[in-house]
C-alpha cells in the first residue's frame, strides 16, 4: 500500500481512471449505504461498474471529498467511513 502522500506510481500501483458515470455511481452508492451498513465498502464497490475494489472506491471518495473541500475553500480531510 502507498504511504501517505505517495502517488500510485511510487508504490508500484497503476493509476485508476474513472469515468463520470462511474463516479456518479460511486457517490450514489456512498449515500445509499450508510455508516452502519455491514460490509459497506464491499457493497459500494459492487454497485460501481468497472470492477473497482473497495480500496479503489475508498481512495476515489477521499479524492472527491478533497476536491470538494478545496472548491469550497475549506481544509481537506477524509470522508466519513
Helices and strands counted in the chain (H then E): 3, 0
Reported as a single tens digit per residue, the pLDDT across 3-36 is 444 444 444 456 789 999 999 999 999 999 999 9
Structure-block grid coordinates of residue 72: 469550497
Tell me the C-alpha distance between 73 and 52, whole Å: 30
Q: How far apart are the first and last CA of the chain?
A: 19
Asked if 44 and 29 count as a contact pair (C-beta separation under 8 A), the reply is yes
Structure-block grid coordinates of residue 49: 461498474
Task: Classify residue 7 as exposed, middle or buried by CB count within 10 Å of its CB (0-12, 13-18, 19+).
Answer: exposed
Reported as a single tens digit per residue, the pLDDT across 48-59 is 999 999 999 999
* pLDDT value for 27: 97
| All domains in the chain, ordered by first residue | 19-72 (1.10.10.60)
Amino acid at each position: 500500500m502507498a504511504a501517505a502522500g505517495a502517488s500510485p506510481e511510487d508504490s508500484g500501483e497503476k493509476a485508476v481512471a474513472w469515468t463520470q458515470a462511474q463516479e456518479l455511481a460511486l457517490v450514489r452508492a456512498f449515500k445509499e449505504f450508510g455508516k452502519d451498513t455491514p460490509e459497506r465498502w464491499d457493497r459500494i464497490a459492487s454497485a460501481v461498474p468497472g470492477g473497482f475494489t473497495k480500496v479503489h472506491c475508498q481512495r476515489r471518495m477521499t479524492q472527491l471529498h478533497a476536491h470538494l473541500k478545496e472548491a469550497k475553500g475549506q481544509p481537506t480531510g477524509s470522508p466519513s467511513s
